[in-house]
Structure 1
Amino acid sequence: MSDAGDRAVGGDDDPVAAQYEAYPYPARDAAEESRRLITGSPSRLLEIRHYLRAGAPLPAGFRALVAGGGTGDGTVMLAQQLADAGVPGAEVVYLDLSKASRAICEARLRRRGLTNVSFHSGAIEDLASLGLGQFDYIDCCGVLHHLADPAAGLRQLAEALTPAGGLGIMVYGRFGRSGVYELQDALRRLGHGLDLQARVRLAKGLLPKLPKTNRFARNPILGDHKRSDAELVDLLLHERDVAYSVPELAELVAEAGLEIAAWIEPLRYDPATYLPADLLNRLEGFSALERAGLAEQLAGNLKTHTLYLSQGTRTPLDSQPTAIPTWVEWEGPAVAAMIKREGALAGAFDGLPLRLQLPPRAAAFAELCDGHRSLAEIRDALGQRFRDLPVERLEREIATCLQVFGGINRLLLMAGP
């Protein structure tokens, strides 16, 4: 872990910079690093490989930038997974305005004994002048929507990519944040003239007394403010905050000269997830973007959008015989046991219960996905076990399993040797 020095950014009159100095976000305790590694999307290594590199291994000297690193969730995850994977010469570069947030991230890395991170204090808008070089991957999670000019910020990030590089981003979703902006404005008016700490006290006093008809109070998927004061400030007292619908976000991405490689989780952005069977034929002729936008309107609970961005059309592995299905933080035997017990894949998307139907051989397929067997080997093993099953039927069942498990971002394809 190296210190590359500081640059003067985010002056004393910058309320956003001041907010993160007073309330580093998200609230984290370095002592917890001995008990857990916080993971999530974007930026798991398996996701980067699957969505941006057609399953190929990360190259030696792989460089990742965490743009707006905060208290370090993305930085720590990337640094630990790169160390575990043994990628030669891999480096994570941390960039953030807040020295208080940076100190927490540094403490978390020290707790883990990780030394593959360099630190820089600065703004995304100043990236071109910071001299940090080019990156194979950039993580920008929960940051663009707080910039004065998100489009300019995303263009800066795109320009910092290597020719084969890509990004993982998260921005706020317009529909899932129902009630947030009305309450933000109300708290801004009620707290006029108060310092930030006093506004926090005001908000904490008001929240439990909001009318039951208040749109924020009626939104069941918004609970970040209950975790800590830092989360409350970020959600309800932020000085600069914009949310996007799917079409608005697609326009932002296109303006930066980028393409959407994948929405996470893909099934959230498939209207077939939410429509009754008798309406599925109405989706004919919809483009991928139109389908994603319709899914957002139907679901109503997408409070954030997580997606991977590339600089050009990527050729996914899909169902190439040499591809190796690999579980993301799941294990095949446990998945198989769940399928046998539930008869389907049961779960929820932010309060929306889901019961995803799987083909009859799904449990057997799940058990065979061990991160080593290729799709061809799995198909052959299933064919030997279910000799009376027509080959075409077996291949359809495998394709369905890949679609469902991949749709919830839990089974990804790695390139074979």
Structure 2
Amino acid sequence: MDNSTPTQTVSDAVARLYNTYPFPPEPILDEAPPGYNWRWYWPTVHSFCTGAAPTKGAVRVLDAGCGTGVSTEYIGHLNSEAEVLGIDLSEQAIATATERCRRSGATNARFRQLSIYDVDQIEGEFDWINCVGVIHHMADPLKGLQALATKLAPGGFIHLFVYAAIGRWEISLMQRAIALVQGSQRGDYRDGVQVGRQIFASLPEGNRLKQRERDRWAMENQRDECFADMYVHPQEIDYTLDSLFELIDASGLEFVGFSNPQVWQLDRLLASDPALLDRARQLPEQDQYRLIELLDPEITHFEWFLARPPYSRFSWEDEALLLSAIPTRNPCMEGWPSQSIFDHNYQIVSLDQTEFEFLQACDGQRPALEGQPPNHSTSAQASVAELLSRCNANLETVRQMQQRQLILLESPAVR
């Protein structure tokens, strides 16, 4: 561990915050949590990163900076064959996480109070690491990311989330204002919450900081735990696109892509001028991202996947390969069976009759994952070609449904 005085001071301060206000403050349930997050479901993570469904389900997962175990619990329930370990600095958060998973029956999840800097104390490597909203609270985010990289198995993936500087401009100003008023009492987090709420209440109605809080954050910040996490945190590093890719380049891992790719599409902002959109698309990929960052100050965070090479990438442009693939319906959807569903991002999607018929044909199929008992003989799983013979869909429909994450495709080459 980097036990230098500044680093240890920051770690101790962060632990005190989350011992005072365990985060996130979601209620503990006596059943599996409702809904889904596709970034917490191994088959959809693997499919997003490689293009194909995985061949094994019995993976090792590390939830690094798990807090009160909300994400760990979901990962445990959504991936019943996985071995899940959650680590966090906060003793109180770990206690809450342990109780959360005990109550809901996530028996494949266990917890350990441990700093990310100290992950070398954990035996073995992980197929998949979840580290969301954490490294930007470390004194040395790069050192933390590099430590995690050493625990990622070859071909493994890590999902990360850090704050974006432009979209959090008003938050940054309020953080500094609260700290200034607190003075020598900074570090008393309950006092910080009280001071912050007093400032917001006192500001004129037209004040930009007050408006931003009311319009964007006030609902979640009714809870002191959320208000403290946002406004009185003792350590926060916000990123720009440039500093983000500096971090990625220094990590020793490979950038796979943003896990909210719809945000990073230029046509979302420039579609009304096709000529300008075409010109912007001539820019290098990172410059396209920079342009989106500058044009959309509502982007408050970056979320993305990194991989430890080597790992397979599947393209379904090859007709023969696609025809022989085994398709399954993405279980991360609500409202099925219906032509109007919520997709993996909880966005309403209207399926045309052809798409609906193909999804119906896929229903009941699932990848042949090692470590999971098959619900059918794996030889009974129908290929794309076989399913197309039963409905009116075509290969382009299948490709588009895979790109929209409505279906997962298993490559016969790795079956």
The normalised TM-score by structure 1 is 0.79
Partner residue in 2 for 1:94: 86
SS of the residue corresponding to residue 274 of structure 1 reads: helix
Confirm whether residue 59 of structure 1 aligns to residue 56 of structure 2: yes
SS of the residue corresponding to residue 40 of structure 2 reads: coil
Confirm whether residue 214 of structure 1 aligns to residue 208 of structure 2: yes
Structure 1 pair 65–324 and aligned structure 2 pair: CA distance change class (3 A): same
Between the aligned partners of 2:284 and 2:311, the Cα distance in structure 1 is 17
Between the aligned partners of 2:118 and 2:108, the Cα distance in structure 1 is 23
Q: 1:192 aligns with which of 166, 183, 204?
A: 183
Structure 1 pair 397–117 and aligned structure 2 pair: CA distance change class (3 A): closer
Structure 1 pair 337–59 and aligned structure 2 pair: CA distance change class (3 A): closer
SS of the residue corresponding to residue 191 of structure 1 reads: helix
Partner residue in 2 for 1:202: 195
Between the aligned partners of 2:270 and 2:257, the Cα distance in structure 1 is 21
Does structure 1 retain, via aligned residues, the 8 Å contact 2:154–2:310?
A: no
CA RMSD of aligned residues (A): 3.2
- The runs of 5 or more residues in structure 2 that have no matched partner are 1-6, 317-321, 366-381
Residues 192-211 of structure 1, C-alpha deviations (whole Å, 9 max, x = no match): 23322122112122224433
Between the aligned partners of 1:292 and 1:371, the Cα distance in structure 2 is 39
1:235 Cα deviation after fit: 0.5
Q: 2:231 aligns with which of 232, 236, 247?
A: 236
Structure 1 pair 358–109 and aligned structure 2 pair: CA distance change class (3 A): closer
1:374 Cα deviation after fit: 4.7
Between the aligned partners of 1:180 and 1:11, the Cα distance in structure 2 is 23
Partner residue in 2 for 1:268: 263
Between the aligned partners of 2:235 and 2:300, the Cα distance in structure 1 is 17
Partner residue in 2 for 1:389: none
1:120 Cα deviation after fit: 1.7
Q: Which amino acid aligns with 1:174?
A: A
1:265 Cα deviation after fit: 2.0
SS of the residue corresponding to residue 221 of structure 1 reads: helix
- The runs of 5 or more residues in structure 1 that have no matched partner are 1-8, 340-344, 350-354, 387-393
Structure 1 pair 275–238 and aligned structure 2 pair: CA distance change class (3 A): same
Partner residue in 2 for 1:132: 123
1:57 Cα deviation after fit: 3.1
Q: Which amino acid aligns with 1:120?
A: R
SS of the residue corresponding to residue 301 of structure 1 reads: coil
Partner residue in 2 for 1:281: 278
Q: 1:79 aligns with which of 56, 76, 79?
A: 76
Partner residue in 1 for 2:371: none
Q: Which amino acid aligns with 2:251?
A: A
Confirm whether residue 330 of structure 1 aligns to residue 333 of structure 2: yes
Between the aligned partners of 2:338 and 2:307, the Cα distance in structure 1 is 31
Partner residue in 1 for 2:23: 25
Q: Which amino acid aligns with 1:63?
A: R
1:29 Cα deviation after fit: 2.4
More displaced stretch, 101-110 vs 11-20: 11-20
SS of the residue corresponding to residue 216 of structure 2 reads: coil
1:144 Cα deviation after fit: 0.7
Between the aligned partners of 1:284 and 1:267, the Cα distance in structure 2 is 15
Between the aligned partners of 2:364 and 2:241, the Cα distance in structure 1 is 33
1:11 Cα deviation after fit: 7.0
Confirm whether residue 177 of structure 1 aligns to residue 168 of structure 2: yes
Question: What is the number of residues matched between the two proteins?
Answer: 378
Between the aligned partners of 1:139 and 1:378, the Cα distance in structure 2 is 35
Q: Which amino acid aligns with 2:293?
A: E
Q: Which amino acid aligns with 1:274?
A: L
Residues 149-207 of structure 1, C-alpha deviations (whole Å, 9 max, x = no match): 10111011011111222201111122322311011000111122332212211212222
1:262 Cα deviation after fit: 2.4
Partner residue in 2 for 1:256: 251
Between the aligned partners of 1:273 and 1:380, the Cα distance in structure 2 is 36
SS of the residue corresponding to residue 196 of structure 2 reads: helix
SS of the residue corresponding to residue 42 of structure 1 reads: helix
Between the aligned partners of 1:44 and 1:202, the Cα distance in structure 2 is 40
Partner residue in 1 for 2:44: 47
Between the aligned partners of 1:221 and 1:366, the Cα distance in structure 2 is 37
Between the aligned partners of 1:115 and 1:69, the Cα distance in structure 2 is 16
Q: Which amino acid aligns with 1:19?
A: L
More displaced stretch, 15-24 vs 299-308: 299-308
Between the aligned partners of 1:13 and 1:247, the Cα distance in structure 2 is 26
Between the aligned partners of 1:58 and 1:216, the Cα distance in structure 2 is 50
Structure 1 pair 41–333 and aligned structure 2 pair: CA distance change class (3 A): closer
SS of the residue corresponding to residue 286 of structure 1 reads: coil
Q: 1:311 aligns with which of 304, 308, 311?
A: 308
Between the aligned partners of 2:11 and 2:158, the Cα distance in structure 1 is 31
Structure 1 pair 336–357 and aligned structure 2 pair: CA distance change class (3 A): closer
Q: 1:112 aligns with which of 96, 104, 107?
A: 104
Does structure 2 retain, via aligned residues, the 8 Å contact 1:358–1:400?
A: no
Structure 1 pair 363–248 and aligned structure 2 pair: CA distance change class (3 A): farther
SS of the residue corresponding to residue 197 of structure 2 reads: helix
Does structure 2 retain, via aligned residues, the 8 Å contact 1:63–1:92?
A: yes
Does structure 2 retain, via aligned residues, the 8 Å contact 1:99–1:121?
A: yes
